[in-house]
Structure 1
Amino acid sequence: MRTSYILAMIPLSVLDLSPVPEGSDVSQSLANTLDLARHAERLGYNRYWLAEHHNMPGIASAATAVVIGHVAAGTSTIRVGAGGIMLPNHSPYVIAEQFGTLATLFPDRIDLGLGRAPGTDQYTLRALRRDPASAENFPRDVLELQAYLAPATPGQPIEAVPGSGTEVPLWILGSSLFGAQLAAELGLPFGFASHFAPGSLDQALAIYRDRFRPSAQQQRPHALVGVNIIAAESDAEAQYLATSQQMSFTHMVRGTRRLTQPPIADIETYWSPREKMHVQQMLACSIIGGPETVRRGVDALLERTHADELMIVSDMFDFGKRLRSFEIIAGLMR
């Protein structure tokens, strides 16, 4: 048992969906994303990742590679990447070109996390002109993408330009045992999406570590764990701010799409008992409170998972409060 995970300087990173609050718009959300990335860089965060979601009015990061370029151009040292690109939505060749271009523009700063889910509904999947069965080809597509990013060989008939030779670091992302098994087999770092689907967290990490095979990219397993952290000056304030995220997940359960809502005094008046049960299951990997509560929660999570890195989601309505939340969390690194 490690005596102090915090003193061991576990890297902390940021996952941003570019949320769109009620009364705001996409333009402001993308500006906020760059402001938050610069804030995270000053505070010493390790990575800043953006996620691909489609047909969601409350999320502005659908064109993920474009937003990554926006963030990377506006920062200087923090690693920027996808958490993740939903590979079944795309040709591996096109993703190799996109991220090869990013890696050429911003050397040694780009990460490419890959997910197997479509990140949207069936109607939008058809609008993307993708076959739902393409998810079954995910392992093969990962290998194809990896080959396009590797140095070109003599006589290679298809080359990603830019792309070949950039060897952009690949990550396998998932919320099930499948992703853990694939990451272990391919010898890639693994990110578990426990910030919205924590049910298989412990089993997935055990499988990943037990079955990991070293590769040219990764000699040892590297497990990144997603966690919701809403930090504020007091436990009461954090619980209040967290109701915006709880309402967003309630909308997911209801199958409705809304912008991020202002916090409310009593979340119990908003959801039904069934909705509350579902939302609490999805948000079980959450730490909400003042600085000491957050510190204890992070220590307990790291004691449980032995994570090599934490990827933090801190979504709330007020952008100033969101900046402050990441400041409080960053204090755990010191």
Structure 2
Amino acid sequence: MRLSLLDRSRTRAGEPDPAALTRTVERAKRAERLGYHRFWVAEHHAVPGIASGAPTVLMAAVAAATERIRIGSGGIMLPNHQPLVVAEQVATLAALHPGRIDVGVGRTPAFTEPVRRALRSDGEDGWDDTAFAADLRELRSYLDGTGPVTVRPRPAEAPPLFVLATGAGLRVAGDLRLPVVVGGPVLDDRAALDGYRSRAGDDAYVVVSADVLIGDPELALPEAWALAAARTTGEFPPLEPPDPGRRTTERQRAVVDRALERTIVGDEDTVAERLDELVERTGADELLVTSSTWDGDALAESDARLAAVLSGVTGHVP
């Protein structure tokens, strides 16, 4: 089982945004030492709780600070970009860091209407499966050298393309025989996963995304609170310290409870048992951990303990 990390450069209350990017680069360096397979960064625009709005720029910084671990995007949102521009950015990274660059792409539009306008994006309107599939084909053609124009620098080897997929995205990825990254409710939809594998055939590859933390269950509270705030106020906020006695509305409490149920958190035995069940249920080829928490030291310890669990050497830090 390959083990990878997605770091969204979460901001923290009372800190300047650049601190989140510095932590991302430091986390990538630790992940490489711990033997993680990939380290991916995200794309979010004008979100108070996330400092990563330019994934290829951050990928460049992470790749320059590491030596072996694969670096990628989780993901670049194609509604916001021209496929040729994405291909040129990725090709540049692949030329500087050969054999280490991944391209995860998605179709999620910007979160708010003002941001969509700023991006000159139509959002959901006009962005159907056909348009997404067409852009994926175009992007792949530039990366593998079969497109109508030749991207420079020409990659010696086409970086692998992954699709961040929902139910509809799974069908598109399957028809294009591309690997997928899935999380949330899709993990319980065995029919959708089986349909993807049937379409993709021997090229099927499923990366399961999940929030996983080894340590005190309270580590999961800051992210759950932020999600509850986003669902009730429309703004995804910076992380705040955990406070079990924090006052929340009934609706916010329901969101927090659902988020905590989905988070795999606890000691090594608890986490290993739940991961075994997740892998059995989904047939995952790889686990992409997406967790974050307020306490940076606790997050670093969790990453190390999880790497040990997955390597079968609990307590050992490579």
CA–CA separation in structure 2 for the residues paired with 1:286 and 1:79: 25
SS in 2 for 1:171: strand
1:102 is aligned to 2:93: yes
Note the 1:126-141 alignment, pairs <5 A: 126-132=117-123, 133-136=125-128, 137-141=131-135
CA–CA separation in structure 2 for the residues paired with 1:61 and 1:319: 17
Q: Give the direction of change, closer, same or farther, for the CA distance of 1:203–1:278 in structure 2 (3 Å limit).
A: farther
Match of residue 228 from structure 1: 211
Per-residue deviation, residues 95-145 of structure 1 (Å, max 9, x unmatched): 000001011111010000110111422210110112223522111001011
Match of residue 247 from structure 1: 225
Question: Is the CA contact (8 Å cut-off) linking 1:246 and 1:279 kept in structure 2?
Answer: yes
Question: Is the CA contact (8 Å cut-off) linking 1:52 and 1:61 kept in structure 2?
Answer: yes
SS in 1 for 2:74: strand
Structure 1's consecutive aligned runs of 4 or more residues displaced over 6 angstroms after TM superposition are none
Note the 1:157-306 alignment, pairs <5 A: 158-163=149-154, 166-174=157-165, 176-194=166-184, 197-198=185-186, 201-213=189-201, 219-232=202-215, 238-254=216-232, 255-266=234-245, 269-281=246-258, 284-306=261-283
Match of residue 235 from structure 1: none
Count of residue pairs the alignment pairs up: 307
Range with bigger deviation, 255-264 or 65-74: 255-264
1:333 is aligned to 2:313: no
TM-score, reference length from structure 2: 0.91
Q: Percent identity?
A: 36
Tell me which amino acid in the other structure corresponds to 1:313: T
CA–CA separation in structure 2 for the residues paired with 1:119 and 1:309: 28
Question: Is the CA contact (8 Å cut-off) linking 1:16 and 1:313 kept in structure 2?
Answer: yes
Q: Give the direction of change, closer, same or farther, for the CA distance of 1:224–1:283 in structure 2 (3 Å limit).
A: farther
Range with bigger deviation, 254-263 or 318-327: 254-263
TM-score, reference length from structure 1: 0.87
Tell me which amino acid in the other structure corresponds to 1:209: R
Q: CA deviation at 1:275?
A: 2.5
Flag structure 2 segments of 5+ consecutive residues without an equivalent: 312-318
CA–CA separation in structure 2 for the residues paired with 1:152 and 1:227: 35
Match of residue 144 from structure 1: 138
Tell me which amino acid in the other structure corresponds to 2:127: A
CA–CA separation in structure 2 for the residues paired with 1:188 and 1:152: 17
Match of residue 291 from structure 2: 314
CA–CA separation in structure 2 for the residues paired with 1:134 and 1:310: 33
Cα RMSD after superposing both structures: 1.8
Flag structure 1 segments of 5+ consecutive residues without an equivalent: 1-9, 214-218, 233-237
Match of residue 93 from structure 1: 84
CA–CA separation in structure 1 for the residues paired with 2:17 and 2:50: 8
Q: CA deviation at 1:252?
A: 1.3
Q: CA deviation at 1:25?
A: 1.7
